[in-house]
Structure 1
Amino acid sequence: MRPIPVSNRPPAPAASSAGMSARQLLQAPHRLMFFIGAGNVLLAMLWWAAWLAAQYTGAWRMPDIAVPPGWLHAFLMQYLVLPSFIFGFLLTVFPRWMGLPDLPRWRYAPVGAGLMGGQLAILLSTLGWDAGFTVGLWMSLAGWLAGVATLGRLLLRDTARTWHARSCFAALLLGCTGLVCFLVFVLTGDAWYAFASIKLGGVVMLLPIYLTVAHRMFPFFAANAVPGYKPWRPMAWLGAMWGFLLLHLLLELRHAYAWLWLPDAALLIASGVALWHWWPRGRMPGLLAVLFVGTAWLPITFALYTTQSVIYLLTGEFVLGRAPMHAMFIGFFGSVLVAMVTRVTQGHSGRPLKMPALAWFAFAALQIVAVMRVVAEVAPDALFWQVASAIGWLLALLPWVTRIGRIYLSPRADGRPG
């Protein structure tokens, strides 16, 4: 579709709360799913911060829940919070990557209903509604299956063999496996399935999707913004990353921690090489810079993982605890989430492609929170730093989430549909 000439464009409607409507959420997949993700991330972290603070202060007692709270925190973040944004992005870009028509509402609305309803029911179970946990898990699975089925139908119609789409879809299938593993854990009580679910969600679901999107989109964005930039997108690199991540997963599932340094060192080198090639050498706009600053957390993550594994090989101790995992989740996943969601939100709402002040605040604050959470694993008062970082996460994202939520409830600023 050719752009409408500036002189013929309808005037942008005045931004006001009067124009806000929940009906706007169904205008596009990213509107609905990003809005749900924004709500999910605040609610999930609010519960986690309250639980951590209760343990630290003893000022109140949180109700007992069906599973260990730390495992539930991991499940919510990996299978409901971040996937809300991921499905919103993929349900929007899959048709465009493949040259297919945009999806009708009835294809993406069930995905949103499952992920939003699932998390709400699970969180209500932490407040005393016992049946909510089971209801929430099955709603979550239903939302996931609806999303995977819709994206799978698009792949069957893809005649161009879009490898980035296939890579993302493979990761989602592994994510479905992880979600089913958590259900098996709840039904049987076998803790190995909870362990497998957590590892599947982070290592071979979220990471490959983030890497695939970065591999396809980041060089494209840079080439459009930085004169003389040469995109670097070898498919062999993406395939190698998949191989190293699968090896890491296999070693984790077999508890062969002493050998994790082999794939982790390879991942450190490969991620460092990619960051070197991707990083523009000239001046770049802020909306582009945050993508690469966020990606810089990836080699940091694997440096921590490699160090952890080597020390374990020599001493048999996990001296860094969950520091590498939180460098990945808060530093890499969190930073790139803010950067990409801001970019999509600005562009698809008819606003200028630039970082608004609240997005800068969220991004900068997340860098501090990531450092705090990593340090918490080796600090003398670890629980205090965990509480502080959970509260910091909420303070960092609340203004940003409020802004983007209002945008999704409002018409496009340029008056165009979508």
Structure 2
Amino acid sequence: MSPSSSPSGKPATFAELPALIALAPHRTLFLAGSIAVLLSMAWWATELTWMRFGWGGWPQPSIPPGWGHAMVIQYGLFPLFMFGFLLTVFPRWLHRPALPGSRYAPVAGCVFGGYVLANVGLLNLPRLLGLGFVLMLVGYLMGIGMLAAVLRASKDRDDHARSCLLALSLGSLGLIAFLVYLCGGPAMCATLAIKLGTFGLLLPIFFTVTHRMLPFFSGNAVARYRVVRPRWSLPLVWMLLLMHLLLDWRGAMGWLWLADVPLALVFAWHALAWQPWKAMRPGLLAVLHLAFAWLPFAFVLFAVQDLVLAFDGHRILGRAPLHALAIGYFGSMLVAMVTRVTQGHSGRPLQMGAVAWLCFGLLQLVVLVRIRAELGGGENGWLMAAAYGWLMAFLPWVLRSAWIWLTPRVDGKPG
């Protein structure tokens, strides 16, 4: 009996697991990403605890710990989920056949294998650290080539597909820049890689997918919902993000408001145009709108900090805007979107469920705790609370989701 046709909920045998996991890109890469969700924050929580209490014998990375934290999360953790989603939906967006496992398995193996090696390399093993990022880059290039081939074979010139490909290409440039730094290049290469990860890779893909899918999901679930998906906003957001990247990388901090104020306005316009007050049911739709609300809020924080810096010379909010973006928008949207894909592609009802609600709710508290850490007084304690809070929020969700990815669809269908 094949894994896809096993009785609903029946665990696969050990021999069946490889074939079952390879049935769909989201199974393979979401499972890898769920491991990364816990592994990355476990290392960071331990590192913060060492900083606070000075544990003897804990190996320190050969690069600044904060840089290691940013790189493995931005280029390893989130992209595992992004590749899982894009390798699944690209053929659907572009009316092409689904990709076979033989094509996407190497992408998963390289990105996840590189991610694991890079994490181990943070234990003062610089050669493994470099090898991990090389392997990740290979996975990126294979994934980009695969998605580009799907786009070339299609008659559609889909703006969302092209936007995602551009972001992944910038992510590859970020990996190259960081490898230059690891090989002895200037620290400027590392800071460029970190900024590219946030504003050239993650934010463009998250916003592009939200731009396409949130109005679509809302229109399918809500009667008399007005679908708004303006074509002008993707290129405008890209232009402003590239402006932010250039100003930030070149140290022109006093001019960042020129990019961040318009971005705050554009994202706030979308939040209102997508009519969240009409989409608070079902819960699986509500969390998409609630997650997106963190994006305009984060850029309001960016804009306030930029304006104060321009006129007073002080960064009053520290990294609070960045973590409102990273934990609030990226983290919450990851839970919302991955839960939806997991439920739908396993033949289950499109419902949040208690475990997903618990994860989503706790994650909102984690964002607030991490923002509080930037406002002075006991910073390291608040940072530790946020890191361990992330682990507490995600652990039940990861265990439940992993069970679904490791068992056949409950409706007996393939995939």
TM-score calculated relative to the size of structure 2? 0.96
1:205 aligns with 2:172: no
Aligned residue for 1:64, secondary structure, equals: coil
1:362 aligns with 2:359: yes
Paired position in structure 2 for 1:147: 143
Q: Over aligned residues, Cα RMSD in angstroms? A: 1.5
Paired position in structure 2 for 1:68: 64
Return the alpha-carbon distance in structure 1 between the equivalents of residues 12 and 156 of structure 2: 44
Paired position in structure 1 for 2:165: 169
1:59 to partner: Cα distance: 3.1
Paired position in structure 2 for 1:5: none
1:100 aligns with 2:90: no
Return the alpha-carbon distance in structure 2 between the equivalents of residues 353 and 19 of structure 1: 27
1:130 to partner: Cα distance: 4.5
1:285 to partner: Cα distance: 0.5
The letter for the 2-side match of 1:391 is Y
Which of 5, 13, 20 is the equivalent residue of 2:7? 13
Residues 346-400 of structure 1 show CA distances to partners (whole Å, capped at 9, x for unaligned) of 0000000000111001100110000110110113011110111000001100110
Residues 109-155 of structure 1 show CA distances to partners (whole Å, capped at 9, x for unaligned) of 11111111112112222335443212212111111111111111112
Residues 27-68 of structure 1 show CA distances to partners (whole Å, capped at 9, x for unaligned) of 001110100100111111110110001101223442132211
Task: Tell me if structure 1 keeps the 8 A contact 2:11–2:406.
Answer: no
1:371 aligns with 2:365: no
Return the alpha-carbon distance in structure 2 between the equivalents of residues 204 and 131 of structure 1: 27
Return the alpha-carbon distance in structure 2 between the equivalents of residues 18 and 353 of structure 1: 24
Paired position in structure 1 for 2:405: 408
Return the alpha-carbon distance in structure 1 between the equivalents of residues 127 and 250 of structure 2: 34
Aligned residue for 1:235, secondary structure, equals: coil
Paired position in structure 2 for 1:7: none
Return the alpha-carbon distance in structure 1 between the equivalents of residues 232 and 303 of structure 2: 23
The letter for the 2-side match of 1:412 is R
Judge which range, 314-323 or 192-201, deviates more: 314-323
Aligned residue for 1:415, secondary structure, equals: coil
Paired position in structure 2 for 1:306: 303
Which of 350, 355, 359 is the equivalent residue of 1:353? 350
Which of 238, 241, 246 is the equivalent residue of 1:242? 238
Return the alpha-carbon distance in structure 1 between the equivalents of residues 126 and 160 of structure 2: 41
Paired position in structure 2 for 1:343: 340
1:11 to partner: Cα distance: 9.5
Alignment of 1:218-233 (within 5 A): 218-233=214-229
Return the alpha-carbon distance in structure 1 between the equivalents of residues 408 and 5 of structure 2: 12
Which of 236, 243, 251 is the equivalent residue of 1:255? 251
Paired position in structure 2 for 1:6: none
1:311 to partner: Cα distance: 1.2
Paired position in structure 2 for 1:89: 85
Return the alpha-carbon distance in structure 2 between the equivalents of residues 304 and 74 of structure 1: 20
Task: Tell me if structure 2 keeps the 8 A contact 1:219–1:231.
Answer: yes
Which of 188, 194, 200 is the equivalent residue of 2:190? 194
Q: How many pairs were matched up?
A: 409
Paired position in structure 2 for 1:4: none
1:32 aligns with 2:32: no
Task: Tell me if structure 1 keeps the 8 A contact 2:12–2:408.
Answer: no
Task: Tell me if structure 2 keeps the 8 A contact 1:22–1:409.
Answer: no
1:332 aligns with 2:361: no
Return the alpha-carbon distance in structure 2 between the equivalents of residues 73 and 375 of structure 1: 19
Task: Tell me if structure 2 keeps the 8 A contact 1:12–1:414.
Answer: no
The letter for the 2-side match of 1:321 is G
TM-score calculated relative to the size of structure 1? 0.95
Return the alpha-carbon distance in structure 2 between the equivalents of residues 415 and 311 of structure 1: 58
1:14 to partner: Cα distance: 4.1
Paired position in structure 1 for 2:393: 396
Paired position in structure 2 for 1:3: none
The letter for the 2-side match of 1:326 is H
Aligned residue for 1:407, secondary structure, equals: helix
Alpha carbons of structure 1 residues 198 and 16: separation in structure 2 relative to 1, 3 Å: same
Unaligned runs of 5+ in 1: 1-9
Return the alpha-carbon distance in structure 1 between the equivalents of residues 366 and 356 of structure 2: 15
The letter for the 1-side match of 2:9 is A
Task: Tell me if structure 2 keeps the 8 A contact 1:54–1:61.
Answer: no
Aligned residue for 2:232, secondary structure, equals: helix
1:100 to partner: Cα distance: 0.4
Paired position in structure 2 for 1:382: 379
Judge which range, 57-66 or 382-391, deviates more: 57-66
Return the alpha-carbon distance in structure 2 between the equivalents of residues 19 and 297 of structure 1: 42
Task: Tell me if structure 2 keeps the 8 A contact 1:298–1:332.
Answer: yes
Aligned residue for 1:379, secondary structure, equals: coil
The letter for the 1-side match of 2:7 is P
Return the alpha-carbon distance in structure 2 between the equivalents of residues 323 and 235 of structure 1: 31
- Paired-residue identity, %: 46
Judge which range, 242-251 or 359-368, deviates more: 242-251
Aligned residue for 1:205, secondary structure, equals: helix
The letter for the 1-side match of 2:325 is M
The letter for the 1-side match of 2:339 is T
1:117 aligns with 2:93: no
1:225 to partner: Cα distance: 0.5
Paired position in structure 2 for 1:126: 122
1:252 to partner: Cα distance: 0.7
